Amino acid sequence: MKSAGRVLDLLEYLSQRREAVSLSQIIRDLGFPKSSAHGLLQTLTARGHLTQDEAGRYILIESSHGFPFRPHEEPLVVTARPYMERLRDDSGETVLLSTMNAHCDIRRLAKCVSHHPLRYDVHLDAAITPYCTATGRLLLAHARPDVLESYLSRVQFLTYTRYTVTDPAELRRLLAKVRRDGYALNDQEFITGSTGIAAPVCNGDGEVIAALNLGTLTSRFLERRELLILMVREAAFQLSRAMGYRP
């Protein structure tokens, strides 16, 4: 019974963190004996519930207690993790990885949260409004024309802050600018005081498969605007190369 309890404790712990965790950290946080923790982790990995990144840290793949990765998402998340952590550490800000389906529903896959006492953070399963977020605009800008037109024809444009763009013609202009500039920016359009920057992650065929997003307080963004944009674009480019992209 103790072993079964530890399995549940371990799954709940990993589902709440939603980031790669080392064996030593698991032992410290849960107080498990090293041999017991290692055996449970190896069993869960062999059964397909966990995977390990390049540093040997463990990430939850599938659990009824957590947020499951789909089969095609796992390699992306595992590959992206070190680039996300490096961007988080270099910028000091929160980093997220998201994808979008053909219905323009956006799914957050992973996050690396800033260590700042005052920081941007969001639940992975929280709803995303594509037309007024950096991640959403980035992915809409690179969607197929028919997918974009379908979205624009059915979406209800709501005003979330005094900065929210709700005019379809202006939004089309902004999406064209995203394609031209290579990044998307959301400056307080969804949450006052919050700014997001997103850049495309491409696969070996040159298709945009995800958005790498940096979320920060607007006050900190204004202090380092050009540097933060450059850092996000460079991290997304390096991740794309790791996914097989060759410009």
Of the candidates 74, 37, 85, the residue with the CA atom closest to the CA atom of residue 52: 74
Q: Which of 123, 131, 122 is nearest to 189 (CA)?
A: 131
Amino acid type, 137: R
- Which residues are paired to 51 by β-bridges? 59
In the chain, which residue ranges form alpha helices assigned H by DSSP?
2-17, 23-30, 34-46, 73-91, 134-141, 145-154, 168-181, 218-223, 225-242
- pLDDT at 137 (0 to 100): 97
The span from the CA of 195 to the CA of 226, in Å, is: 13
Query: In which residue are the tokens 């070996």 written?
Result: 204
pLDDT at 50: 79
**CA pair distance 39, 54, nearest whole angstrom:** 19
Write the burial class of residue 79 (CB in 10 Å: 0-12 exposed, 13-18 middle, 19+ buried): middle
CA–CA distance from 96 to each of 19, 73, 123, 137 (Å)? 11, 14, 11, 15
pTM of the model: 0.74
Cα distance between residue 86 and residue 55, in whole Å = 14
Q: Report how far residue 147's alpha carbon sits from residue 149's, in angstroms, rounded to the nearest whole number.
A: 6
Query: CA-to-CA distance for 62 and 11, rounded, in angstroms?
Result: 10
Residue pLDDT tens, the chain, 247 long? 566 778 888 888 887 776 788 999 999 998 988 888 888 888 887 766 777 777 788 887 644 334 555 656 778 888 998 999 999 999 999 999 999 988 898 989 889 999 999 999 888 878 889 999 999 999 999 999 999 999 999 999 999 999 999 999 999 999 999 999 999 999 999 999 999 999 999 999 999 999 999 999 999 999 999 999 999 999 999 999 999 999 8
Per-residue pLDDT, 65? 38
